Structure 1
Amino acid sequence: MPRTVLVTGGTSGIGRAVAALFAADKAHVIITGRHQDTVTQAAHELGVSGAVCDATDPDQVAALAEGLGPLDVLVNAAGGLPAAPADSKSTLHGILVQWQDSLAQNLLTAVLTTTAVRPLLTAHSSVVSIGSIGAERRGGSYGAAKAALAAWNAALSHELGPSGVTCNVIAAGYVEGTGFFRGGMTGERHRALVEETHDKRAGTVDDIARTAFFLASPGARHITGQTLHVNGGAHTTR
């Protein structure tokens, strides 16, 4: 029987790659995004279902959950850099706005969505959240939010593990070919980030998508509460 997979932030980048991989496996995939035009276009191109939902809005998240049935896989891929105001480095108000935006996009989207769909998870469901190497270094408010995501995931795994649900975070390193840097990626910065890796290449959205697919597979049923670093060795653990 086909699995049902919900991917937040599934209209572009990592989320879109994750949705495409599950769709290729004949799963029933639902992607979400904040804008009707991008959701409609991506859903059509991927051959999946789409739903407009701003995952930072509790009412929209609740409405999304009400329209869903049992879920086999939830991938929390919504997130991104904060839209910092021009005065963010000179006023406390600007800093507050920046940090609130980071937490809303990169932590609360996952918390709200997972909480809303929790009653729909089954004894074999998987929750996968997309984190970042920024949680380990030079991440600012974005990195702090991703670090909080990993801490929350550990608690979530403890709560849901007895019911058979696995919960893991993929901490992605530098992934090229996305809109994450909003045009701020330079050749020099690209070379520096690649040089930090052991395999001397940038990551791809497919690297992250395939890791998410594995974490939702039968072979990963005893992997839960973990943060998996997928970064080519740019950050190592032991």
Structure 2
Amino acid sequence: MSQTTPRTVLVTGGTSGIGRAIAELFAADGDDVVLTGRHPDTVERTAAELSARGVVCDATDPTQVAALAAGLPEVHVLVNAAGGLPDPAPDHLPPLDALLAGWQANLAQNLLTAVLTTTAVRPALAPGGSVISIGSIGAERRGGAYGASKAALAAWNAALSAELGPLGVTANVIAAGYVEGTNFFRGALTPERRAALIAETHTNRPGTPADIAHTAHFLASPGARHLTGQTLHLNGGAHTTR
């Protein structure tokens, strides 16, 4: 359903996987979508394919994030989808240095991208707006540095919700389970591991980027205006709460 007045929707990490699916859904809804990514070629191509605006921005770089925010006088929906598994630390590093580099990279990509972007665009967030961050089931189980960074994302979101609530802006996390159609595993997922991940679900299927996109779309809808400060576990039942 198209909006009477198009909203400005900012999607970080919007050139592939979950971020792209979210950007595509909002663009199809008639919204003015601004998607970001680190690589100019993929940003330009994806923006053209989705009829969106593309901005090259490394969301771990405060200078680039500030420049992004300066070009957005009003934002109705912010989706923090940038993140993922960072590249391994260089082999030449001593073990503790390599460990530190890995943890710092995970925190930068999966927590600080959201913190920096949200803080930079906060003055532009419109009343009735939404901040949606993409978390992970890894925060609940054996997630290592990646899981810890996503757990920190959820903790930060709870505080963010309290700050933004009086402004009429909601803040929620979608904690995704196993999602096919992304490059998260970088081709390293074995058939056995894939089968095990699907077997954990109640729905007997993997998640899709569209599953995440439609949940994000709901969180930005009038029907979710009293839903804030939450982590929504979208994993087909692989992790349940009560």
Please give the per-residue CA displacement for 1:5-36, whole angstroms capped at 9, x wherever unaligned. Answer: 00000000000000000000000000000010
1:7-46 alignment, distance < 5 Å: 7-46=11-50
Please give the per-residue CA displacement for 1:94-131, whole angstroms capped at 9, x wherever unaligned. Answer: 00000000000000000000000000001111000000
Structure 1 equivalent of residue 160 of structure 2: 156
**Partner of 1:151: helix, strand, or coil?**
helix
Amino acid at match of 1:159: E
Tell me the distance in 2 between the aligned counterparts of 1:87 and 1:188.
Answer: 29
**Partner of 1:180: helix, strand, or coil?**
coil
Tell me the distance in 1 between the aligned counterparts of 2:188 and 2:174.
Answer: 24
Structure 2 equivalent of residue 228 of structure 1: 232
CA shift at 1:72, angstroms?
0.5
Structure 2 equivalent of residue 208 of structure 1: 212
Are the equivalent residues in 2 in contact too, given 1:80–1:105 (CA < 8 A)? yes
**Partner of 2:206: helix, strand, or coil?**
coil
Tell me the distance in 2 between the aligned counterparts of 1:89 and 1:194.
Answer: 36
Tell me the distance in 2 between the aligned counterparts of 1:21 and 1:136.
Answer: 28
Structure 1 equivalent of residue 53 of structure 2: 49
Tell me the distance in 1 between the aligned counterparts of 2:188 and 2:213.
Answer: 24
Structure 2 equivalent of residue 129 of structure 1: 133
Change (3 A) 1:88 1:8: farther
Are the equivalent residues in 2 in contact too, given 1:196–1:234 (CA < 8 A)? yes
Structure 2 equivalent of residue 112 of structure 1: 116
Tell me the distance in 2 between the aligned counterparts of 1:146 and 1:84.
Answer: 18
Cα RMSD of the aligned pairs, angstroms, is: 1.2
Q: Structure 2 stretches of 5 or more lacking a match?
A: none
Q: Which moved more, 1:16-25 or 1:82-91?
A: 82-91
Tell me the distance in 2 between the aligned counterparts of 1:188 and 1:127.
Answer: 36
Tell me the distance in 2 between the aligned counterparts of 1:212 and 1:198.
Answer: 22
Tell me the distance in 2 between the aligned counterparts of 1:178 and 1:67.
Answer: 29
**Partner of 1:128: helix, strand, or coil?**
strand
Amino acid at match of 1:175: V
Change (3 A) 1:237 1:89: farther
Change (3 A) 1:88 1:76: farther
Runs of 4+ off more than 3 Å: 86-90
Aligned-pair identity in percent equals 72
Tell me the distance in 1 between the aligned counterparts of 2:32 and 2:147.
Answer: 32
TM-score, with length taken from structure 2: 0.97
Tell me the distance in 1 between the aligned counterparts of 2:65 and 2:108.
Answer: 13
Please give the per-residue CA displacement for 1:133-159, whole angstroms capped at 9, x wherever unaligned. Answer: 000001110000000000000000001
Q: Structure 1 stretches of 5 or more lacking a match?
A: none
